[in-house]
Amino acid sequence: MTYLETAAQFYSEVAQTPEVGLCCVQSTPLQLPGLSIPLAMQEMNYGCGTTVHTNELANEPTVLYVGVGGGLEALQFAYFSRRPGAIIAIEPVAEMREAAQRNLEIAAQENPWFDPSFVEIRSGDAFNLPVDDAAIDIVAQNCLFNIFEPKDLTIALQAAYRVLKPGGRLQMSDPIATRPIPLHLQQDQRLRAMCLSGALTYQEYTQLIINAGFGQIEIRARRPYRLLDKQTYNLAENLLLESLDSVAFKVQIPEDGACIFTGKTAIYAGAKPFFDDNAGHILQRGIPAAVCDKTAAKLATIKPTEIMVTDSTWYYDGGGCC
C-alpha cells in the first residue's frame, strides 16, 4: 500500500474503535458558553492543538474543514456560524464520515442551538477539494497535513489557497520536528499515519506555506508535543516533536518576502519621542511594538544601540505591522 492508503486504513480502524490519546497531547476541549462536547467526540480528538481561534470568527464565516475526525472542531466552528452548510467538512474515509455524523447527531441532542445541517460532510480529500474557487473564508485542518510527504503537502496547500477568498485564512495545527526526521522513520508508514514521523522542521513547514502563495503567517502557539526516544525509535539522540498552531493569510507576498509573526517586538530607546524608519514602522520610545520577524531583523540592524528586539514568544494574535 501507499502511505496514504495505510493512513486511510489506520483511520478507518480508529473511527470504528476510538483510540483515546492516539496522536495528540490530551487537553480540555475549548470551553464556550452553552457548548457541550459529546464524550464520543472527545475520545476521537485526533488533533495536536486547535484551529478554532474565537476572536476571528465574527460574521458567521464559511469554514472548510479538511479531515473531519470525530467532528469536534467542526462543532466548535458551527458554534460561531449557526446556519445550514456554514461548515463544510471534507473526509476521504467512509468510516470516519459515518462516525462524525453520529457524533454530530449526539451533539444536537446535547446542544439546543445546534442543528446537524450546520455541518455538511462531503467525501473528498485535501488534494482535490470539492469546492469552488475563492468560496471559503477559513480553511482548517488539525494534525492531518503533517502526514503528507512534501510534494503532497504542496498540493494540499495549493488546493487550500485556491478555495479561499482573498484575505481568507488557512488555520492549521500540525506537529513539527526540532531537527530533520531520519529516513528510516519517515518510511515507516504506520508511524507517519500516527503523526509521529512525517513532521517537517519549522523552516521547511513555513516555507512550503509561503511557496503556495500565502503572504502572511501568524504563529498562535508552539509547544512540546512528543519525544521520540533513542531506544524505541533507533536514534542517535532523542528527537523532540513540537505542536505548531498557525494562521496563514491569502494576501499578496510583499516584494521583500512574506511576513511571519512569532511574537517578536521592537522597542525604541533613543533620545527622540519616536523612531520612523520611513517604511511604515513608527516606534514610540519605550513602548514595545509587535513586528514580523523580517521587520525585526531589519530594525535591529538600523540602530542596534537604540532599538531592542525581543525574542519570539511563539504566540501572536494580531496588532502588529510588517
Q: What is the DSSP letter of 225?
A: E
Can you give the pLDDT at residue 322?
46
Can you give the pLDDT at residue 16?
84
Of 66, 83, 75, 69, residue with least CA distance to 104: 75
**In the structure grid, which three cell numbers stand for residue 5, read together?**
492508503
Whether pLDDT at 17 is above 90? no
Whether pLDDT at 13 is above 80? yes
Q: Rounded to an integer, what distance in angstroms lies between the CA atom of residue 90 and that of residue 69?
A: 10
Tell me the average pLDDT across 142-150.
Answer: 95
Its pTM stands at: 0.94
What pLDDT, in 10s, does the model give residues 276-300? 998 888 999 999 999 999 999 999 9
What pLDDT, in 10s, does the model give residues 215-240? 999 999 999 999 999 999 999 999 99
What pLDDT, in 10s, does the model give residues 51-102? 999 988 999 999 999 999 899 999 999 999 999 999 999 999 999 999 999 9
What pLDDT, in 10s, does the model give residues 28-48? 557 789 999 998 888 888 778
What pLDDT, in 10s, does the model give residues 20-31? 666 555 455 577
Whether pLDDT at 175 is above 50? yes
User: What whole-number percentage of the chain has pLDDT above 70?
Assistant: 95
| β strands within 37-153, DSSP E | 63-66, 87-91, 119-123, 136-142
Cα distances (angstroms) measured from residue 70 to each of 5, 91, 97, 102, 289 = 20, 11, 8, 9, 40
What pLDDT, in 10s, does the model give residues 179-211? 999 999 999 999 999 899 999 999 999 999 999
- Residues 6 or more apart from 283 whose CB is under 8 A from it? 266, 267, 268, 274, 275, 276, 289, 299, 307
Q: What is the mean pLDDT of the chain?
A: 93
End-to-end CA distance of the chain: 45
Tell me the average pLDDT across 253-260.
Answer: 95
Q: How many angstroms from the chain centroid is the CA of residue 250?
A: 14
Q: Rounded to an integer, what distance in angstroms lies between the CA atom of residue 282 and that of residue 322?
A: 11
